[in-house]
Chains A and B, each alone.
Chain A
């Protein structure tokens, strides 16, 4: 589904990703872990199309298509969706505006018409309830005055409505208490499907107790230095990153 090959990325002149290779197949949940500054957030930002990241070498393809050549909105419409670590506040734009505009953009790309209002309302209410959010959130401006936990729930709500093919979640667990974490994890787990993949970027293993990954990758200094199954995450939690660094150096 997603193939990243030998990806080199430079930010403001310094190389952050130094030859990252990663393959994610449909149906899989991958977790990328690593110490601060390893380049975890850079990977998802480059795939989503954020400005300021220069790809100097390598390729990113999504279902055989060159992602790096696509407009930001085109990536989203094809099903590549990024959940932000720090969701931006958008004063004056109601959540419901954003959800409807985004859903209809996706439907148009898929050759479907605008979603009928009753169907849209039914869908939204169901997803809002699932995320244990109050419907009043829909009338509020996107993320404005939301607590950290509310912002993260809102990111997952957008995922549930837009049903991405590949959901990339950047530090979705940061700033969450345990109850909020469970709600967010339930949301993410509900997205697991045969034809969909999930990429979790996280610093802590804690999240992976709730969303059990198929594959875990350790990112150090711009490269994936070790991959394994969910057991690897637990080992990292118990032993830290140092042993991986030593192993790599050896």
Chain B
């Protein structure tokens, strides 16, 4: 049986269990399946997949999870310790017991996709798939064929959400590997403001496949800070297609923080459709062991006076492989735009590898754009200098690695998130080097 057929058989099994669905869903499901069947899994002869081999996904035998059972004690150790509204999914299945939707402020709708469909499927049908259709990639097509659960976030105009909204995806260890195809739909009304944290995490022994499609609509003046904290187990397979549409004066800030997963591919695309729209792509990826992390980003400047700034940093250890492909496209007549892009990579081992490719496509003349990429190792002179001050080698390397990540981490407004990333990239620094303590000391000094 071909790889594609195995996935289609799983789809047929699942479809046979489904009740009656709105016709538009069934039609899109079919279109997704047809497209996936026609394309098959991407191979490395396709430019966009040149550096990422997806055979681990294609040859996998994944079933669909039937329940959302998860030990609350384990969940408590994995979850971000933040005061937040929270939707939790276990292997793609909504877990009400691990969610917290109490006291949602007026103007905020936060619910699982299944609930949103039950409530008013037509309201979902409009935006769903409008940005990321089945043409986007074979994975987006596959997701569309299987779509049934996920998260819907709607913010009414001028709604400012103080607490972050956490979308938590837990991956469970089990005898049978499972797959999930979550959809995230975020619609931010004009001048609304929120922070959404997408958190992928799970049991250490898990080896599941997550194929996410995410569509984000920012209306005029909306401000969204979007964290994607990827701490999935090291055998998990993770593909995410994130597509953002930005109206006039909207601001989208992404923190794409990749620490986990065995095979990770992120496609992050924004459409800067209105004047004054701004996109900030901040990324940090850390790979160890045989992790493979691929980040493809694209900023489409479709309107004049739009702004994009991208700063991605990669740290690769052991035999990890990183891919960075950042593209800025300025459409004809999109004048007075600014698009900046920078990517720096740190290789901590001789066998770590990075493929970095920044791209600019400019079809307008009055633009300010720059891009660049650098790759290097830790400065051994600096390691030595720190050691001559009594700092042990491991800590010296940790401090320097953190310093490299610092430019991105400094932008992270949520301390809980920043500290988790620090811990992951610098290793557990001995207590005496407690960085939190140092930060406090530095703050005390500046206030004095």
A95 to B: closest C-beta gap in Å: 10
B441 touches A101 (CB 8 A): no
Partner of A138, one of B387, B388, B431, B445: B445
B395 to A: closest C-beta gap in Å: 7
The residue of chain A having its C-beta at the shortest distance from the C-beta of B404 within the complex is: A92
CB within 8 Å of A: which B25-48 residues: none
Interface of A toward B, CB cutoff 8 Å: 48-51, 71-73, 75-77, 81-82, 84, 87-94, 96-98, 100-102, 104-109, 114, 117, 120-121, 124, 135, 138-139, 141-142, 158, 162
B445 touches A121 (CB 8 A): yes
CB within 8 Å of A: which B116-172 residues: none
Provide the main secondary structure of the chain B interface: helix
- Contact stretch, chosen from B10-18, B366-374, B378-386: B378-386
A105 touches B441 (CB 8 A): no
Q: Which residues of A contact B438 (CB under 8 A)?
A: 94, 96-97, 100-101
A88 touches B381 (CB 8 A): yes
A217 to B: closest C-beta gap in Å: 23
Partner of B390, one of A73, A89, A93: A73
Q: In whole angstroms, what is the CA distance A93 to B441 when docked? A: 14
The residue of chain B having its C-beta at the shortest distance from the C-beta of A120 within the complex is: B441
CB within 8 Å of A: which B414-448 residues: 431-435, 437-438, 440-442, 444-446, 448
The residue of chain A having its C-beta at the shortest distance from the C-beta of B442 within the complex is: A96
Also in contact, A73 and B399, with CB within 8 A (given A117-B440, A138-B445, A139-B446): no
Cβ of B104 under 8 Å from chain A: no
A97 touches B399 (CB 8 A): yes
The residue of chain A having its C-beta at the shortest distance from the C-beta of B389 within the complex is: A102
B427 to A: closest C-beta gap in Å: 14
Q: In whole angstroms, what is the CA distance A48 to B384 when docked? A: 10
Extra 17 A-B pairs, beta carbons < 8 Å, given A72-B384, A120-B441:
A71-B387, A72-B388, A72-B393, A73-B393, A81-B389, A88-B379, A90-B386, A92-B404, A94-B438, A94-B442, A97-B435, A98-B386, A101-B433, A114-B431, A117-B437, A139-B446, A162-B389
Q: In whole angstroms, what is the CA distance A218 to B448 when docked? A: 48
Cβ of B406 under 8 Å from chain A: yes
- Summed over the interface, the residue pairs from A and B with CB atoms below 8 Å come to a total of 121
A90 touches B403 (CB 8 A): yes
A76 touches B399 (CB 8 A): no
Partner of A92, one of B380, B393, B402: B402
The residue of chain B having its C-beta at the shortest distance from the C-beta of A108 within the complex is: B432
Cβ of B392 under 8 Å from chain A: yes
B388 touches A104 (CB 8 A): no
Q: Which residues of A contact B433 (CB under 8 A)?
A: 100-101, 104
Q: In whole angstroms, what is the CA distance A50 to B399 when docked? A: 20
Q: In whole angstroms, what is the CA distance A77 to B399 when docked? A: 18
A92 touches B385 (CB 8 A): no
Q: Which residues of B contact A91 (CB under 8 A)?
A: 403
B159 to A: closest C-beta gap in Å: 38
Cβ of B75 under 8 Å from chain A: no
A93 touches B440 (CB 8 A): no
Cβ of B78 under 8 Å from chain A: no
A73 touches B441 (CB 8 A): no
Cβ of B4 under 8 Å from chain A: no
Name 19 A/B residue pairs within 8 A (Cβ), A-sorted.
A72-B388, A76-B389, A81-B388, A90-B382, A90-B386, A92-B403, A92-B406, A93-B399, A97-B438, A98-B386, A100-B441, A105-B392, A106-B390, A114-B432, A117-B444, A120-B441, A124-B445, A138-B442, A141-B403
A49 touches B388 (CB 8 A): yes
Q: In whole angstroms, what is the CA distance A157 to B446 when docked? A: 19
B389 touches A158 (CB 8 A): yes
A249 to B: closest C-beta gap in Å: 37
Q: Which residues of B contact A73 (CB under 8 A)?
A: 387-388, 390-393
Cβ of B400 under 8 Å from chain A: yes
Q: In whole angstroms, what is the CA distance A198 to B389 when docked? A: 17
